[in-house]
Structure 1
């Protein structure tokens, strides 16, 4: 269904957000108590739209790719996230005003201040400046007036633009250096800031009445899938590759929630874990997507200080090595198709590669699907090759093998690192901790053993901290020996790699709202949400021309047919004019209207109205309902779907 946006009214975020709250797509939680930042409740149209998006996601990914869906608990013991690295690394950098105690997220503060200064520079040079900003940004940038109309040196402008191009890749200490170098202070007061410190984003809690079992609310759904790997592999008859999927709530204790649904503390995620042989990351359906052209922002471009996009096919991106492998490229293309299907504007969608200093230490490649909104480019989907990290660390911690086995057609010789312990020396050296140290050493991965071997050779010792052992543990060549050993294999045992597409549903939902909102020509008050019929909360508005008893049997008949066909609809038989009734449902994104008039009572014919163009056609009840089904669920356009119906002019 093509969208015809006949408008001369500029996009207004304020108008959109007023509409979304007024029509109860969503609203701040606990609003009558003053609300809590970063928490929102979804109303009837918001629930319906989000559920429809999830339904499309399930069909597009889980059903199409034969994935195994699981639903795992939101409460997760401390040990799980300690092992996964979340306890130590799942953090953002925050800085505090020394006087007022006001807290800022460091990277956002640097970004906002430098953007403000660049706008001031443009004003001073007489260039036009688009000034539609997040209300929170505006509040924090009261000092912008001091910055406006100040011309910056060309080299400073270039440096600022280079920093902004790489803002996602800076560490805490690097952000601290930027704050000092560029004299960044509290925008509201000018107050000096403390150096950035790490703030772990997980909500902690305790399980049980005694509170002895420390736990967290999960910040993602992934860990539950990794921990159930053996069960999933068995369910899949030990066949590789395969994928699991999970949809559920996650929680992150954001430092400074802002931008409505874009940065919240409780949100819906949909995540896929595609388990693949590390020696074969091809995909059997890659040829289906290899010609899909996408707009890429590779890390090399960003690291050069540029944001220029490169347009190429997925096949080209994989063959030249820009995208690491076929399976990763396949999912990037499938992510694109999903986002377009639910209403994202392809011209406001790009795939940005994580920079070298931004990428997780274990990932071999990672791309974010970013959608452009009035808040800038927003990460909505991450697609990463996480290598074998997750299964390896959980296996090492628990002693449970999380591996797949493949019979070899003929034996092969492999060379792997093995560790040999001088057990007679372990007792006297470590005493009561000897068993703990031994277990820890024997559970190390090949990558870790390779690293240990290098340290032993270069430094003559390894120093490690081991859970349950007080102080640092020092190991030298008299205690351990690590070397490569050749052996013959008849069955290949390997830890699968994981390709992980991870979707932030709330961010996607809001971005679609922005991409599909507009106002009728010459009338800023007549807002329209051009949501695709497939995901629109309600598909049909049923509008009797009057409350005459003569029309009631037809209203009931059409309602019965729509209900039987499982097509969501609403009846508006209020006393408002038919134009007003359609206008208020255009705001709700309802794509079709069925008008029942006095001719309907004579011949069972009704009028079908299309939301965006307001075109109308007429036909029998069965013909009109069939057209709605074809356009909504089969994806045909308006012209083809209504070809058998007669044009109608009121």
Structure 2
């Protein structure tokens, strides 16, 4: 249990908070009546259903995201298929590399929530954090105290836990006697576990497919069509919102680690030599709490606060476009009501970097479960477009006309095909392809070696005899530097990718806005901003008028007292409540109540409707309404 406090100073108690959001049906465990049945042998962990307020809140967050990014920046939105052929994800590297490290508890002991399998880094984190809590008086005052050296040692490991590979995690488990906390069993050394769900297409089951782990691959494969749609203009961005799937090893943190989730992702395509951003000045003064790589490796977890401009200038953030999106991400989180004192941007360490990324920052939100990655901003370089182009033979490049012709000096390799064909026979095509794919640095090195030795070895996969290289002599291969005139420039774009986990943002936001009345801890309130709150008041005629104005609302005509109805609205996060009573029938006036302050004003229906519409649109404030209405 966290020691965090709510807005009114009460200690945050997760069980009370989750009781509220589940009672009000923001979300619930899926297949719940089966889960509670003694006959059910399945596994529904990591799967959740959203109820009416949860659906509305999620839809409002996505709507705010679309307005903030897609509409504001003229992004090209796609809706791509979830089912993905295996070759696509094989080429992207996900089949081989999209994995977490997993430990097995081999002893069938006390049943645990996570079963026999545990994610290695989370296991170590949970055990060390529990020892720190006990050893510093956080859980029980009777536990033996940890000495400062041990405290520092544990904190140092936790600060860089994401930088350990499988061998490193195995060594930590052995060195610190890390066991399954549910039953104190020893666990086996970590092994990689691929997180993708695999299936097949068609009755023959001959075509393997996966449920996509992210929405990005569909966007990359549509790049050429998007470029043409955008009249060949660079830079530009695509965007996609949709379900993704990851077979989590041991989901046990509510909405924060689930197997089916909603992603909102942006792929911003940019010239690798021009990573400046036209609108960078709009965010250059935005202050970011940055936990960079060097700070983490030093065993520290306190971020430094820098403006986006300073961080880019100091090369803490690699380039303007990456910095621009980090700034825009912070502004988005602020707009939907996230507590900015519980936000940090953490740079990925070397061993945790995705196989496609050359740099990555996570926007992490502080919750009762600790810091949670909610938005990832990765510089994927040209990785994805390059590998898909190489596999398919399709051109995924940009060609731009130069202002004037330019002379280009480059190394060029030429094979004597008359000799190569008879010499290599069936392997001739593979040899030719291998030579054509040599980059300039390699060609320069090979030219020197060929001049000195008269023969060079060229890596050539796919040879008939199973070997992986061929020897080419001066008679077969000629390498020289040539000068040619070009009128166009061709390049493969780099990609900057902000990826938003909507469910994680939703849950973290609910924790951030949760509090209780000072005089009654059981009177819970969710201070959701008007822009994303699920409900915004009322009675039939007023409800209809507000819906025509685009203001979502819910009518409560139950027999409960007005106090209980207000309390119910508070738990649903409803910012404003309109009360229709006997005086409404007599005078035509209604009462408007604001959630957080519980203050009320009364006025004609027209005035109240205008006030609600103004506050929803952001052109009016509650203080202004208070000043002009009785």
State the TM-score, normalizing by the size of structure 2.
0.90
Query: Structure 2 vs 1, CA of residues 470 and 6 (structure 1 numbering), >3 Å: closer, same or farther?
Result: same
Distance 1:111 1:82 in 2: 31
* CA deviation map 1:551-596 (0-9, x unaligned): xxxx443233223222222222222110001111111111111112
Counterpart Cα distance in 1 of 2:446 and 2:173: 37
1:402 is displaced (CA, Å) by 0.5
C-alpha distance in structure 2 between counterparts of 1:428 and 1:152, whole Å: 75
Cross-structure match for 1:473: 468
Q: Could you tell me how far apart the structure 2 residues matched to 1:480 and 1:531 are?
A: 69
Change (3 A) 1:77 1:439: farther
Distance in 1 separating the partners of 2:56 and 2:448: 57
Give the C-alpha shift of residue 246 in structure 1: 0.3
Instruction: Note closer, same or farther for the CA distance 1:399–1:596 as it changes in structure 2 (3 Å cut).
Output: same
- Residue 91 of structure 2 corresponds to residue 107 of structure 1: no
CA drift of 1:314 comes to: 0.7
Instruction: After superposition, give the CA deviation of every residue in 1:230-264 in whole Å (9 maximum; x if it has no partner).
Output: 00000000000000000000000011112100000
Q: 2: CA distance between counterparts of 1:39 and 1:484?
A: 60
Q: From 55, 80, 98, give the equivalent of 1:47.
A: 55
Partners in 2 of 1:120 and 1:421 — Cα distance? 70
State whether residues 198 and 208 of structure 2, in contact with CA within 8 Å, keep that contact through their aligned partners in structure 1: yes
> Residues 170 and 451 (structure 1 numbering): CA distance in 2 closer, same or farther, change over 3 Å?
farther
Shift of 1:207: 1.4
**Is residue 226 from structure 1 mapped to residue 220 from structure 2 by the alignment?**
yes
Answer whether contact 1:630 1:641 (CA < 8 A) is retained.
no
Contact 1:166-1:303 at 8 Å conserved across structures:
yes
* Distance verdict in 2 for CA 1:84–1:426, change over 3 Å: farther
**Are residue 575 (structure 1) and residue 559 (structure 2) matched?**
yes
- Whether the 8 Å contact between 1:9 and 1:519 is mirrored in structure 2 is yes
Q: How does 1:341-490 map to 2 (within 5 A)?
A: 341-360=335-354, 362-416=356-410, 418-421=412-415, 423=417, 431-436=425-430, 438-439=432-433, 442-443=436-437, 461=457, 463=459, 465-466=461-462, 471-478=466-473, 486-490=483-487
SS of the equivalent of 2:521 reads coil
Partner of 2:44: 36
**Equivalents in 1 of 2:337, 2:575: separation in Å?**
13
CA distance in 1, matches of 2:361, 2:480: 36
Contact 1:631 1:637 in 2 (8 A): yes
1:72 matches 2:80: yes
Aligned residue among 632, 637, 647 for 2:616: 632
CA distance in 2, matches of 1:452, 1:640: 75
The answer to whether the 8 Å contact 1:419/1:481 transfers is: yes
Distance 1:420 1:232, change over 3 A: same
Question: Would you say the 8 A contact 1:536–1:589 is kept in 2?
Answer: yes
Q: 1:293-330: per-residue Cα shift (whole Å, max 9, x none)? A: 11111111111111111011111111111111111111
For 1:470 and 1:18, the matched residues in 2 are separated by 66
Query: What is the CA-CA distance between 1:484 and the residue it aligns to?
Result: 6.4
- Aligned residue number for residue 3 of structure 2: none
1:69–1:244 contact (8 Å) kept in structure 2 = yes
Matches within 5 A, 1:303-318: 303-318=297-312
Q: How far apart are the structure 2 equivalents of 1:460 and 1:83? A: 29
| Aligned mate of 2:603, from 614, 619, 641 | 619
Q: Secondary structure at the match of 1:333?
A: helix
For 2:493 and 2:325, how far apart are their aligned partners in 1? 17
Which residue pairs with 1:11 in the alignment? Answer: 12
Q: TM-score, normalised by structure 1?
A: 0.88
Aligned to 1:60: 68
Cα separation, partners in 2 of 1:187 and 1:311, compared to 1, 3 Å? same
**Contact in 1 for aligned 2:197/2:247 (Cα 8 Å):** yes
User: CA separation in 1, counterparts of 2:446 and 2:192?
Assistant: 28
- CA RMSD across the alignment: 2.7
Say if 2:501 is the partner of 1:504: yes
Whether contact under 8 Å (1:461, 1:477) holds in the other structure is yes
The one of 184, 199, 204 aligned to 1:205:
199
Question: 1:118 and 1:566, CA in 2 relative to 1: closer, same or farther beyond 3 A?
Answer: same
Residues 531-550 of structure 1 show CA distances to partners (whole Å, capped at 9, x for unaligned) of 1111111111x2xxxxxxxx
Deviation at 1:424, TM superposition (A): 5.6
**Cα pair 2:103 2:120 within 8 Å, conserved:** yes
Instruction: Measure the CA separation in 2 of the matches of 1:199 and 1:454.
Output: 44
Contact 2:121-2:161 within 8 A present in 1 as well: yes
- C-alpha separation in 2, matches of 1:636 and 1:454: 73
Partners of 1:396 and 1:445 within 8 A in 2:
no
The alignment covers a number of residue pairs equal to: 608
Judge conservation of contact 2:434–2:458 (CA < 8 Å) in 1.
no
Question: Is 1:119–1:148's contact at 8 Å kept on the other side of the alignment?
Answer: no
1:644 CA drift (Å): 2.5
State which of 96, 99, 102 in structure 2 corresponds to 1:94: 102
Distance 1:593 1:119 in 2: 43
Pick aligned residue for 2:186 from 192, 200, 209 = 192
CA separation in 2, counterparts of 1:290 and 1:628? 34
Aligned to 2:524: 527
Alpha-carbon offset, residue 606 of structure 1:
1.1
The aligned counterpart of 2:543 is: 559
Deviation at 1:434, TM superposition (A): 4.1
Relative distance call for 1:9 and 1:190 in structure 2 (3 A) is closer
Kindly state the Cα deviation for residue 59 of structure 1 after the two structures are TM-superposed. Answer: 0.6
Q: Compute the displacement of 1:508 (Å).
A: 0.3
- Residues 519 and 527 in structure 1, CA contact (< 8 A), matched pair in contact too: yes
CA contact (8 A) 1:207 1:213 kept: yes
Which residue number in structure 2 is paired with residue 140 of structure 1?
none
